[in-house]
Amino acid sequence: MYLGDEIGPEEAEALLREIAKRIWDYGMETAAIMFLETSKPIAFIGAQMGQAVLLPLLNFAGDVQMERGDKYLSVVQSKDNLEKLIQMLEYIAIHEKLPEPEFSENRKEDQEVETSPDPEPEDKGEERKGWKRFLPF
């Protein structure tokens, strides 16, 4: 388990949002959803194997990286957290943005943010993200 205290639901959701954002940055939502759905039954065993094999190797990268890796592995070994991650990725695939966090302790709901209308897009076509930007078609 995590080298420090137990991971709370707020911290688990923050870690899941970070994972989802990284997957979204690379444009791999669909592939990640498929991989997570197929590996959900063995997620606990995989996370335990990762802790046994990867954590000693992460020790060479430093204590901070080892704790961070252990946190990630602890979060993804739960089927409930994997389901939350899959739902986040499905939301991202449909809406092209991260969902609002459920735990809003740090959100400023009282402060209104003025938004200006989006400027007219130029005739560059749809901007690609992730690995798709390297495709010629």
Please write the tens of the pLDDT for every residue from 14-30: 999 999 999 998 889 99
Q: How far apart are CA 37 and CA 86, in angstroms?
A: 8
C-alpha distance across the termini of the chain, in Å: 46
Domain count, the chain: 1
Residue 137 lies in a domain: no
Per-residue pLDDT reduced to its tens digit, 56-114:
888 888 888 888 888 988 898 888 999 999 999 999 888 888 777 765 444 444 344 44
Q: 124 lies in a domain? A: no
Domain membership of residue 81 as a residue range: 9-100
Q: What are phi and psi of 103, to 5 degrees?
A: -95, 110
Q: Classify residue 30: in a domain, yes or no.
A: yes
Residue 135 forms part of a structural domain = no
| In the chain, % of residues over pLDDT 90 | 28
CB 37 within 8 A of CB 86: yes
Q: Would 120 be classed as within a structural domain?
A: no
Widest CA span of the chain, in angstroms? Answer: 53
- Rounded distance, CA 71 to CA 11, Å? 9
Residue 35 placed within a domain: yes
Residue 136, in any domain of the structure: no
Burial class (CB in 10 A: 0-12, 13-18, 19+), 116: exposed
Q: What is the mean pLDDT of the chain?
A: 79
Supply the pLDDT for residue 123: 47
